[in-house]
Amino acid sequence: MSEATEQAAPKVKRPTRAHRREEILAAATRVFGSKGYHQGSLVDVAAQVGITHAGVLHHFGSKDKLLWEVLEYRDRVDVQHLEGKHIPGGMDLFRHLVTTARLNADRRGIVQAYAVLTGESVTDGHPASSWVGQRFAVLRGEISEAVRDLATERDVRLPDGEAERAANAVIAVMDGLQLQWLLDPDAVDLAEATRFAIESVLTATLGSTVQIVSP
């Protein structure tokens, strides 16, 4: 009898398409993160959500397409803590980068997936290589822009290409620190190390001490 009144929670039986896809994406992130794309199989992914590998293909068509959606999924998670606000510029961008690093220290799976897939992507014809390349290009643009903002703010004239060089160094240091942290979490404090490294690059680039204060 009480069942009729419980119609407020309508869908308990079959998972909706959207929900199931999300489950599979989360599982695929774990699998690709812990085994890599080539070594991680659709059977592994399927087992984690309690279906067969054919069921996964029913939702995503092919393993390549699944990977693409996993990468987009990571992008969504990456900016969700910004809550609608667009990606910031100037000093706020660097604060955002450090904040992301701090959050990442509690999201090992996603960091690992990113590191593994980025490393794998430099192999010939890897399906993720264009995604990673694009990602680097976008980051390079955004960060060098922020560096130029800071330079203008402080009346510093930057040599040609200096902003891009700084941007590349910032991106590099974040990726490299993640690798070290994954292999030995005790050897690196992800957030602190990231803050230190970015401050170093900015200080050297702008010629005066730069401090990134936690928001």
Task: Using CB under 7 A, list all residues that contact DNA.
Answer: 10-11, 13-17, 20, 40-44, 46, 50-55, 57-59, 62-64
Based on the shown chain and the rule CB under 8 A, indicate whether residue 205 belongs to the binding site for a second copy. yes
Among 23, 102, 136, 149, binds a second copy (CB under 8 A): 136
Q: How far is CA 122 from CA 18, 43, 126, in A?
A: 32, 25, 7
Residue 3: CB minimum distance to a second copy, A? 45
Query: Looking only at residues 22 through 81 of this chain, which bind a second copy when binding is defined by CB under 8 A?
Result: 34-36, 38-39
Task: Tell me how far apart the 2 most distant CA atoms of the chain are, in Å.
Answer: 77
How far apart (Å, rounded) are the C-alpha atoms in residues 205 and 182?
29
Residue 60: burial class (beta carbons within 10 Å; 0-12, 13-18, 19+): buried
Report, in Å, the least distance between residue 193 CB and a second copy.
Answer: 6
Asked if 188 interacts with a second copy (CB under 8 A), we say: yes
CA 83 to CA 85: how far, in whole Å? 6
Residue 169: which of a second copy, DNA, none does it interact with, CB under 5 to 8 A by kind? a second copy
Q: Which of 69, 78, 142, 175 binds a second copy (CB under 8 A)?
A: 175
Query: Of the candidates 210, 207, 180, 208, which has an alpha carbon nearest to the alpha carbon of residue 193?
Result: 180
